Amino acid sequence: MRRSPEDEEQSTVGQRFKTWLKRLWHQFRQSFKAFWHRYQLTRWIIVIILGVFLIASTYLTFVAKTADVKNLENRLQRPTMIYDRKNQSAGSLYSQKGTYVKLDQISDNVPAAVLSTEDRNFYHEHGFSVKGLGRAGFLLLKNKLLHRDYISGGGSTLTQQLVKNAFLTQQQTFSRKAKEIFIAVEVENQYSKKQILTMYLNNAYFGHGVWGVQDAARRYFDCDASELTVPQAATLAGMLTSPGIYDPIVHPDLTKQRRNLVIQLMVENHKISQASANTYKKAPLHVVNGYVPSDTYRYPYFFDAVIAEAESRYHLSEKEIMNNGYKIYTTLDQDQQRSMQQTYADDDNFPVDSADGTRVQSASVAMDPKTGGVTAIVGGRGKHVFRGFNRGTQMRRQPGSTIKPLVVYAPALEHGYFYDSTLQDKKQSYGSNNYTPKNYDDTYSGSVPMYKALYESLNAPAVWLLNKIGVNTGYRMAQKFDLPVEKGDRNLALALGGMTKGVSPEQIARAYSAFDNSGNMPESHFITKIEDASGKTIVKAQKTKTKRVVSANTAKNMTSMLIGVYDHGTGQTAKPAGYTVAGKTGTTNSGVKWDDQNDRDKWIVGYTPDVVVATWEGYDDTNANHTLNDISAHSINSLFKAEMTGILNNTPNTKFNVEDAQERAQANTGNDKGWGSFLKDGSNLINRFGQTINNFGGRAEQWWNNVKSLF
């Protein structure tokens, strides 16, 4: 069949295009080849590859050398221990540690089963397997092509698995794998094969919160690791790949299949005969739980706070803290902590649960007023959740009247007022918004001495006084006490605890410690020193930091007035028998519409020369069904009396060097005649004279601040 002219023309055009394309490709190859040779790109590529390899190797070598491999054995043998203020052991932290046993205390069946399953060439490799690396590389390439950002499998050696558990995360990435290999080589350089195998068997996870072969033997077979039979050892070895899937309690059939596979692998590795294996495979899977976990996390909220401080202040990770076998020395007073926990364990110290079963919550902090060291803390009621919400340190609630001494009465004394100065006690409106504070019972006496206004927690005199000394004065004093006030809090409502964020019991305890420490406020803390597993000090808290907040004389007069709270005022029912306590109570309104009778928060703070304690009580979420009322049998006063009695029983019961302000005032009034009264109360007059001298400076500062505010 003859081709048409059109077909012949198309064929000619196609041939011409192919010829042109071939010539173009040839020219491109020649040009590219010339370019390649001219700039020696082959050498540059080799240099770049070698450079990247050198940089990566240098970095990974640095990682391996700084991984503290020398301390690995010590770390794995020891849990992180907590010590109290007397350097006595107080417990240990939860960690990836079980009962550590030596290799000769472990049945020979265990290494035989584990090595047959996990790493047959363990004794012939130096931390990594070339075959394993090849397999990991293949799987990496495969997963990258499938857009999976992880490595599945990889044939890690026993040493690599130990390194992964001890130093790295479980995330499967190339960078983690590279670090794993280099650290594994360093581990092989530092330890013998026997030591590595011992560390691995004691650090392996066997499910149900059990770490290490000894505790696993107790958990599943109620025997020691030295008594494990071949089937039992094979069961534990089979669990290492996936403790959740091969769980003899939850998945007995899968576990038995896995066990029998391990037994067959032991035959292939020449550890047992085929005849013996056949017999072992027929053995039933019999689980007996004889494991009793040790309760070493004895003071949960305190230990939680220690971990949080080690993270935030000393930049240690939780994994380091939990697993590095540290010795952490703290400010804990075990007697006070036990007493506080016992008080919180007694539900009779709290209001009954609401109708829907919601529990009234509470938190308390005890602190050494001289050092700021927290001696005891409870951050909530009910079952503790590891590192859950700690209301003692993390909560922020409005402080109510506990703020009055801090932002009203202390700055008033600093600016020339006296503890018995007369204050106005009238219902009065302030400002353009007609802010009108009311006393609790809405009754007013016209005038009242300062000490009485404080111990009766009267609102009208407190707001009147803040208005007199200036809101800015009270606001700046709140800042000096390190209370988290904001610009929006700069108003008269601050006198009654009106704050945007609120405070924690720890912050309130710290602020009141200034009155207990001659006007010096210490920095609150839990940790004094941290040592690593080898005994080297890696953290040492600086010498107690304090800052001057108020004068010593002001602090003394504040304590004098605050004693009255427990002797005559709102804290009378909270006073522990046989002790003189100073402090303050406080409440905040529920904020629920049409409910002016019930409260959202209840606070109480009390101190002696030995300890300051701040306690809060309320619902986590306040609404119409969850508010606090004044049931005297279960009020915060009864709670505070119970916990303070227990705490003070464990202190030296040091006495205050100042008397109750009301008694001082009455004594002055009764002896206000002649030279005898001057001589009898001479020290008080000298104090008044000194305070009067300061009055001019204080009022001058207030006047200048008022002038500046105009601009």
d(CA 374, CA 368): 6
Q: Is the pLDDT of residue 507 over 60?
A: yes
Confidence of residue 412 (pLDDT cuts 50, 70, 90): very high
Element (H, E) at 216: helix 213-221
Known active-site residue 92 = no
For 616-635, the pLDDT digits (tens) are 999 999 887 888 876 545 78
Choose the catalytic residue: 73, 92, 107, 118. 118
- For the cut 70, the answer to whether the pLDDT of residue 686 exceeds it is no
Contact residues for 260 (Cβ-Cβ < 8 A; gap 6+): 234, 281
pLDDT tens readout for residues 252-304: 999 999 999 999 999 999 999 999 999 999 999 999 999 988 778 999 999 99
Give the integer Cα–Cα distance in Å for 239 and 250. Answer: 12
Instruction: Specify the pLDDT at position 139.
Output: 60
User: Which pLDDT value is given to residue 614?
Assistant: 98
| Maximum Cα interatomic distance, the chain, rounded to a whole number of Å | 148
**What is residue 186's three-state secondary structure?**
helix
Strand-pair category, 546-548 with 582-589: unpaired
- Judged against a pLDDT cut of 70, whether residue 20 lies above it is answered with yes
- Taking CA atoms, 240 is separated from 111, 177, 441, 565, in Å, by 13, 19, 69, 63
Q: How many residues does the chain have?
A: 711
State the pLDDT at residue 670. Answer: 62
Q: How far apart are CA 416 and CA 457, in angstroms?
A: 21
The one-letter amino acid at 240: L
Q: Which of 264, 233, 239, 266 is nearest to 252 (CA)?
A: 239
For residue range 272-284, what is the model confidence (pLDDT) as tens digits?
999 999 999 999 9
Q: Going by DSSP bridges, is the β-strand pair 446-449/422-425 parallel, antiparallel, or unpaired?
A: antiparallel
Q: Tell me the one-letter amino acid at 340.
A: M
Q: Are 587 and 663 contacting, i.e. CB atoms less than 8 angstroms apart? A: no
| Integer Cα distance of 88 and 85 in angstroms | 7
187 vs 82, more confident: 82
Residues with Cβ within 8 Å of 31's Cβ and at least 6 positions away in sequence, in order, are none
**Separation CA 158–CA 128 (nearest Å):** 9
Mean pLDDT within 161-168: 80
Query: Nearest-CA neighbor of 494 among 505, 506, 507, 484?
Result: 484
Q: Which residues contact 211 (CB under 8 A, 6 or more apart)?
A: 96, 97, 98, 202, 203, 204, 205
Q: What angle do CA 585, 589, 591 make, to 5 degrees?
A: 155
CB 626 within 8 A of CB 657: no
| 523: its two tokens | 């920095």
In the block, residue with structure tokens 């007069």: 557
At a CB cut-off of 8 Å and minimum separation 6, what does 639 contact?
A: 343, 349, 350, 362, 615, 617
| Calpha distance 661→454 (Å, rounded) | 11
Query: Is there a contact between 233 and 79 (Cβ–Cβ < 8 Å)?
Result: no
Per-residue model confidence (pLDDT) at position 627: 83
Residue pLDDT, tens place only, 55-67: 877 776 676 676 7
| Confidence check: pLDDT of 169 > 70 | no
User: Which one of 92, 107, 339, 401 is the catalytic residue?
Assistant: 401
Map 104-164 to HEC letters: HHCCCHHHHHHHHHHCCCHHHCCCCCHHHHHHHHHHHHHHHHCCCCCCCCCCCCHHHHHHH
Residue that the structure tokens 């939990």 belong to: 322
Residue 488 CA to residue 603 CA, distance in Å, equals 23
On whether the CB atoms of residues 218 and 178 are closer than 8 A, the answer is no
Residue type for 657, please? N
Task: Report the DSSP pairing between strands 582-589 and 599-607.
Answer: antiparallel
Residue 6 bears catalytic tag:
no
Number of neighbouring beta carbons within 10 Å of residue 70: 12
Nearest Cα to 659, choosing from 667, 648, 669?
667
Q: What is the pLDDT of residue 700?
A: 55
Phi-psi map region of 522: left, alpha, beta (phi>0 left; psi -120 to 50 alpha): beta
Question: How far is it, in rounded angstroms, from Cα 183 to Cα 64?
Answer: 4
Q: pLDDT: is 71 or 109 the higher one?
A: 109
Alpha-carbon distance 156 to 119, whole Å?
A: 8
Q: Provide the whole-model pTM.
A: 0.79
Higher pLDDT, 151 or 327: 327
Distance, CA of 606 to CA of 618 (rounded, Å): 18
> In angstroms, rounded to a whole number, what is the distance separating the alpha carbons of residues 397 and 316?
29
Residue 399 has pLDDT above 50, yes or no: yes
Are the beta carbons of 172 and 152 closer than 8 angstroms?
yes
